[in-house]
Structure 1
Amino acid sequence: MVIELLKVKVPPAQREKFILKDAEIWTAALAKYPGFLEKEVWIDPNNATEVVLIVRWATREQWKAVPQADLEAIEQKFTQALGFPQNIVESEEYQVRKFPQK
């Protein structure tokens, strides 16, 4: 499994709208691609300007196989629906390794 981690800065008063539109547009779109497993939204109760998105993919190859043109079209739809600026301030990739439990 591969984890895509995105930290996004948003206006504090618009955080809930961001989360709802993200689920409605981004999560719904990504769920149609092979390898998409799930997405979580993490909220820091002490920082209303930051939203952390955790996307789980079965493999890196499946994640990276999502066409760039599709990503750009989804982003355009999302930005238009959102109606306010948001900025990805961190983008990371993690591989998950599981070990057998005794």
Structure 2
Amino acid sequence: MVIEWLKFTVDSQSREQFIQQDEAIWTTSLSTYPGFLGKEVWIEPSAPEQIILTIRWQTREQWKSIPIKDLTTIEQKFATVMSKMNINYTMTESKEFQIRKFPSNQ
């Protein structure tokens, strides 16, 4: 399994709207692609302006096979909605992690 880890900065007053629109636009779109396993939103209580999204993919190949054209279209739709809602956001970090599981000694 591969984790796509994204960190955003958004005004804390707009955080819930950002999360709702991310779910409606990004998560709904990504869930149609092979390999998408799920998504979580992480909120750090001491940093209410930060949002971390973790997206789980079955394989890196499946994740990276999403056409750039599709990702651009989804981002444009999301950016348009955010603009209409007067919500500014910035992706400040993106990382990739692999999950390794070790057999238990039974």
Q: Which bracket does the TM-score occupy, shorter chain normalised? A: over 0.9
1:24 aligns to 2:27 (yes or no): no
Structure 2 residues without counterparts, runs of 5 or longer: none
Q: Does 1:101 align with 2:104?
A: yes
Provide the alpha-carbon RMSD of the alignment: 0.7
Give identity over the alignment, percent.
51
**Greater CA drift, 74-83 or 59-68:** 74-83
- Whichever residue aligns with residue 75 of structure 1, its letter is E
Residue aligned with 1:99, SS: coil
Q: Secondary structure at the match of 1:88?
A: strand
Whole-Å separation in 2 of the counterparts to 1:82 and 1:76: 10
Q: If you compute each CA radius of gyration, which structure gives the higher value, 1 or 2?
A: 2
2:91 alignment counterpart: 88
Letter in 2 for 1:60: R
How far 1:40 sits from its partner (Å)? Answer: 0.3
Q: Output the amino acid matched with 1:92.
A: K
CA shift digits 1:18-47 (9 cap, x unpaired): 000000000000000000000000001111
- 1:77 counterpart = 2:80: no
Normalised TM-score (structure 2)? 0.94
1:35-88 residue CA offsets vs partner (Å, 9 max, x unmatched): 000000000111111000000000000000000000000000001112222111
How many residues align? The count is 102
1:53 matched to 2:56: no
For structure 1, list consecutive stretches of 5 or more residues without a partner in the other structure: none
CA distance in 1, matches of 2:90, 2:3: 20
Structure-1 separation of matches of 2:104 and 2:17: 41
TM-score normalised to structure 1 length: 0.97
